[in-house]
Structure 1
Amino acid sequence: MDSPAQALLTNLYAAFNARDIPTLLTALKPDVSWPNGWEGGVVHGREMVGAYWRRQWEQIEPTVTPTAFSTEADGRIAVTVHQVVHDKAGAKIANHTVTHVYRFDRGLVAEMEIRE
């Protein structure tokens, strides 16, 4: 799969790893639904997602690297990602692979789901 969605998502993972909130938020719908994979629950809206990421990055250092992309039957994009998380002292606290599933609306991310 090599599509505009894949290119966008590849750029967004790079922006996430660079802690580039403005780039990330411009790719999200204003009313985006985003899983709070760190604290639990779901956050809604660009401002809430940005605040969630800032809280997360104050406490931990996650790096998320996409390794595979596919299109689901319903048109959503599934991205297999390798996540490595360190605490602020540099100790590795997580190293695993999960799937992120994105729904787009008019070229913007409308919803993300995390599958273990």
Structure 2
Amino acid sequence: MTNQFEDTIKKVYTAFNERNIDNALSTMQEDVQWSKAWEGGYISGHNEIKEYWTRQWTEINPKVEPVGFTQRDNGSLEVKVHQNVKDLQGNLMFDGFVKHIYTFQDGLIKTMDIELVENN
């Protein structure tokens, strides 16, 4: 079952990096709960994610690549991601690793949380 989730995760990151919001949203439940790493707090649902990412991309240029997958005891999927964030002039703002923690419902993303990686 993990492979299906890994495929879903890879699809969402590819879509995000290509700025293809509709493809990314196709991997998520309608009422998905999503962490707003860039602003803090959470958003809920496709429309709020679309607004958040659209606003984010007018101010920063993030690229995220999944580099590792770990199934947690509680059933969630931990995805270690390499995150490279530049401002719109190309200046590096962040280059390192974070953990994105996903839960799924009916094969689609239900929640996404963020945890810092120690010794980043």
TM norm. shorter chain > 0.5: yes
How far, CA to CA, are the matches of 1:8 and 1:44 in structure 2? 19
Other-structure match for 2:67: 67
**Runs of 4+ with deviation above 3 angstroms:** none
Other-structure match for 2:26: 26
- Tell whether 2:43 aligns with 1:43: yes
The C-alpha deviation readout for 1:42-92, integer Å capped at 9, x for no partner, is: 001111011101010111000001110010001111000010000000000
State TM-score, norm by structure 1: 0.96
Other-structure match for 1:53: 53
Q: How many residues align?
A: 116
State TM-score, norm by structure 2: 0.93
SS state at 2:58 partner? helix
Q: CA deviation at 1:2?
A: 5.8
Q: Which amino acid aligns with 1:21?
A: I
Would the aligned equivalents of 2:2 and 2:71 in 1 still touch at CA under 8 Å?
no
- Tell whether 2:10 aligns with 1:10: yes
Unaligned runs of 5+ residues in structure 2 are: none
